[in-house]
Amino acid sequence: MLTFVGLGLYDEKDITLKGLEAIRTADVVYAEFYTSPLGGKRVEKMEEVYGRKIFILQRSDIEEHAEKVILEHAKNQNVVLLCGGDAMIATTHVDLRLRAIDMGIETRIIHAPSISSAVAGVCGLQNYKFGKSATVSPPYKEVISEVPYETIRANKERGLHTLLYLDISMRIHEALVLLEAVEEKKGEEVLKKSLIVGIARAGSDKPIVKADYLPVLKNYEFGELPHVLVLPGELHFLEREALIKIAQAPEDI
């Protein structure tokens, strides 16, 4: 069997009891942290708390060599794959699960908190008002992806909030610079007129949640990774109050 176990939002304490049980009864335990960074992770601490040796995988181990690295073992052993957040948020894991099924390997998923589900509670926005999400990534061959900006615009036209995942090494001010560059290229003012929420280290004991406009957030110090962004759409009066009280948004939003 191949069991996908989500580790939750931040550190080794966020795992579920069901996930911990799967780890302790597995024959082999792998982990990958390129799809989700798990900001407070310390592999040595995880091994101490979980009571198991954890083998860290690289991206190529899953996307290119999974048959030899993971699936061959899962034919005859109970194999666990750990990842930050929820086990099936990353399409990489969906692909791996399908390959396992094609090889006749039984699969199981043990879910855990993810920023995609926790973000509403973290900043006080209403979960059902989030639209499509997108990821802000570094430029590829000096070309900045316009997808995140276009996603914000499309959601705003429908009054919906946008969750922007950031590349695992990217900080909020870096993402905002890229989004601003796209806006200038298009000659629009979606970002300029938008309230923006920055979130750092969700799930930790001291997360940072700050809402303001572009000039302020670009210069705000959010500290250590991981970071995400939220671009609110139309706000219910309770959402306005929440952003002011929870995220220190300007009183006149």
Domain boundaries, the chain: 2-110, 115-247
pLDDT tens digits for 146-156?
Answer: 999 999 999 99
pTM of the model: 0.92
Tokens of 72: 């061959």
Angle between helices 147-157 and 172-186 (to 10 degrees): 80
- Is the bond preceding residue 226 a cis peptide, omega within 30 degrees? yes
Confidence of residue 90 (pLDDT cuts 50, 70, 90): confident
Same fold, 2-110 and 115-247: no
Give the type of residue at 51: G
Whether 197 contacts 132, CB under 8 Å: no
pLDDT of residue 91: 84
pLDDT of residue 79: 98
Cα(110)–Cα(185) distance, integer angstroms: 43
Class of domain 2-110: alpha beta
Whether 138 contacts 170, CB under 8 Å: yes
pLDDT over 80 (residue 166): yes
Domain 115-247: CATH superfamily is Tetrapyrrole methylase, C-terminal domain (3.30.950.10)
pLDDT over 80 (residue 38): no
pLDDT of residue 36: 79
pLDDT over 90 (residue 40): no
